[in-house]
Amino acid sequence: MNKNLGSLYIVSTPIGNLNDITFRAIEVLNKVHICASEDTRISSVLFKKYNINTKLTSYHKFSEKSKINRFIDVLKSGKDIALISDAGTPLISDPGQFLVEAAIQNKIRIIPIPGATSVITALSVSGFKLENFTFYGFFPRKSKEKKVLLKKIASSSGPSVLFESGRRLEKLIDSLSEELKPDCRILVARELTKLHETLYRSELYKIKEILLDSEFGLKGEFVIIIDGYEEESGDILVEEEKRILGILMEKLDRKLALQIASEILKKKRNEIYKIKMKS
């Protein structure tokens, strides 16, 4: 990296409660030349609270491409820039990808300043197994994209995380109910870290009624976590394989039975023979 170039800081800000900002984030926001903000009106509240006087400039989804050259020129002149979103960690369903890509191409140093993110915050209180999970961002609007995503969620062994606004939440739950098992576990987190933070845990078939009957209805911003399906135990699978093989062995000669079982169960002949030995 060229030491004469400025640095691009990707700074996480609070997702609701302004006290969740880190000391390092405040330090960086104070020292950079300018701060690129998704909505300067929202960011100015944070800046005022912590007496941050750095110049704010808007950088949202409608301007992120047009302002790239300007920001790169600033960075090439040796000045630092911070990128923040309205809440949480930038680029997580927020603008910033094009600027980061341009910085990489121009060999500009990119420094992450970690902090809050609603995805991890919601997962941490879900009670679900978190060895792996998938984040999908906001639920798609187009029906074809919805169907593809719903199939992915239905076949996922780990939790699936979605964002949705209150005005679209009911439609999302209806879509989930059409594709997923009614008893799958779900967590709906409203307004995380804010005054009216609420967590709703239930099975899918009950969650809509719970939300509609709640004190705040469908108002607010939501993180939705759908638990992954539980894989059948090995014992159950082996028993089913033994049952199928047993039927074939009764009706057909041994060689043909093993051959057909191999095709049905998608296992090699030696694996089928092991199943037979267990029966």
pLDDT in tens, 51-78: 999 999 999 888 888 899 999 999 999 9
d(CA 277, CA 241) in angstroms, rounded, equals: 12
CA distance 17 to 184: 31
For residue 242, give the nearest of 271, 277, 275 by alpha carbon. 275
Average pLDDT over the chain, rounded to an integer: 90
- Mean pLDDT over residues 126-154, rounded? 94
pLDDT in tens, 82-132: 999 999 999 998 999 999 999 999 999 999 999 999 999 999 999 999 999
What is the tens place of the pLDDT at every residue in 181-209? Answer: 899 999 999 999 999 999 999 999 999 99
Helix residue ranges, H only, 131-202: 143-154, 166-179
Give the residue from 199, 209, 139 showing the smallest Cα distance to 175: 139
Q: Give me the pLDDT at residue 233, please.
A: 47
pLDDT tens string 2-24: 678 999 999 999 999 999 999 99
DSSP 31-69: HSSEEEES-HHHHHHHHHHTT--PEEEE--TTTTTTTHH
Q: What is the rounded average pLDDT of the residues 209-226? A: 93
pLDDT at position 235 is 47
Global pTM value: 0.79
Proportion of the chain above pLDDT 70, given as a percent:
92
- Tokens 């680029």: give the residue: 91
Report how far residue 133's alpha carbon sits from residue 137's, in angstroms, rounded to the nearest whole number.
Answer: 13
Structure confidence at residue 243 (pLDDT): 81
CA distances from 168 to 119, 139, 196, 221, 235 (A): 19, 9, 19, 10, 42
Q: Is a pLDDT exceeding 80 seen at residue 277?
A: no
Residue type, 53: N
CA distances from 139 to 133, 152, 172, 242 (A): 16, 13, 7, 42
Quote the CA–CA distance of 41 and 73 in Å, as a whole number. Answer: 25
Q: Is the pLDDT of residue 170 over 70?
A: yes
Nearest to 150 by CA among 118, 119, 120, 172: 172
Distance CA 69, CA 196 (A): 41
**DSSP state at residue 184:** -
Q: How confident is the model at residue 1 (pLDDT cuts 50, 70, 90)?
A: low
Position 273 confidence tier, pLDDT thresholds 50, 70, 90 = low
* Tokens linked to 232: 């059948």
Report whether 82 contacts 56 (CB < 8 A): no
Average pLDDT estimate for 147-151 = 93
